[in-house]
Amino acid sequence: MRSFFAKFKFLGIVLLIVSAVIVSLFYNALQPKEILPVYQPAMVNFELVDSTLQHVKKYHTIADFALTNQNGKLVTQKDYENKIYIADFFFTTCPTICPIMTKNMAGIQDKILNDDDVMLLSHSVTPDIDSVPQLKKYAMEKGVKDSKWNLVTGDKRQIYELARKSYMAVKTDGDAGPYDMIHTENFILVDKERRIRGFYDGTNTEEMEQLLRDLKILKSSYEE
């Protein structure tokens, strides 16, 4: 008799475990899947958006570009084709927020070093100062890995238009000249379709953690 009840006890435990697994699977299936927003110019602070685009509510993507990196190599959108990437704007002689931003970007670089799907892209807002040798020196000082992270310089008008019309990451500095700009601390998360999926304060540790979480969500959307 005791053996009979022992068998039923074992069966009960097995059924309990199976039930728990089934309930867990149903719960996970019913949970709404996290999806990152697709940012449009109309959703962004108008001070950061070119006046010609402030009304745009859909279909915004990063424009084609051709800039020169720290190794004197031409870098275009083709180098980022089918990649997720994180972009920002900086200048090598910046004494305030740029060192913090660069340090945090280097921290992200460490996290994605072996991830072939993710790259980094930093644009100089003072290309007249940030020559290729200057960028190379800065890259070596900050631990930039050439295969993961391009620091780019080039035509000032092109960088200005990318900053204002594509990434929506700088304010105009009309007192200084037509293509002068005041960069923000923003890091911009860009998906494989060249759409903006997030803005993050590149000087804030908590926002860097959020960026990494969002990067994971974005990567998972390509694994379905």
Buried b (16+ CB within 10 A) or exposed e, 28-67: eeeeeeeebebbbbeebeeebbbeebeebeeebebeebeb
Overall average pLDDT of the 134-159 stretch = 97
207 within 8 A of 107, measured Cβ to Cβ: no
Higher pLDDT, 69 or 20: 69
DSSP helix, strand, coil percent of the chain (3-state; round to 5): 40, 20, 40
Q: Give the torsion sign (CA, 58, 63, 69, 74).
A: positive
User: What one-character DSSP code corresponds to residue 6?
Assistant: H
Overall average pLDDT of the 49-61 stretch = 94
Q: Which two tokens stand for residue 150?
A: 């391009």
**Is pLDDT above 90 for 216?**
yes
pLDDT in tens, 153-211: 999 999 999 999 999 999 887 666 678 888 899 999 999 999 999 999 999 999 999 99
C-alpha 109/C-alpha 187 separation (Å) is: 13
pLDDT at 28: 42
pTM for the model: 0.85
Write down the domain spans for the chain.
1-28, 41-221
- Binding residue per annotation — 123? no
C-alpha 163/C-alpha 180 separation (Å) is: 11
Q: Is residue 10 very low, low, confident or very high in pLDDT (cuts 50, 70, 90)?
A: low
Classify domain 41-221 at the CATH superfamily level: Glutaredoxin (3.40.30.10)
Q: Is residue 2 very low, low, confident or very high in pLDDT (cuts 50, 70, 90)?
A: low
**Is pLDDT above 60 for 94?**
yes
pLDDT at 13: 57
Higher pLDDT, 22 or 126: 126
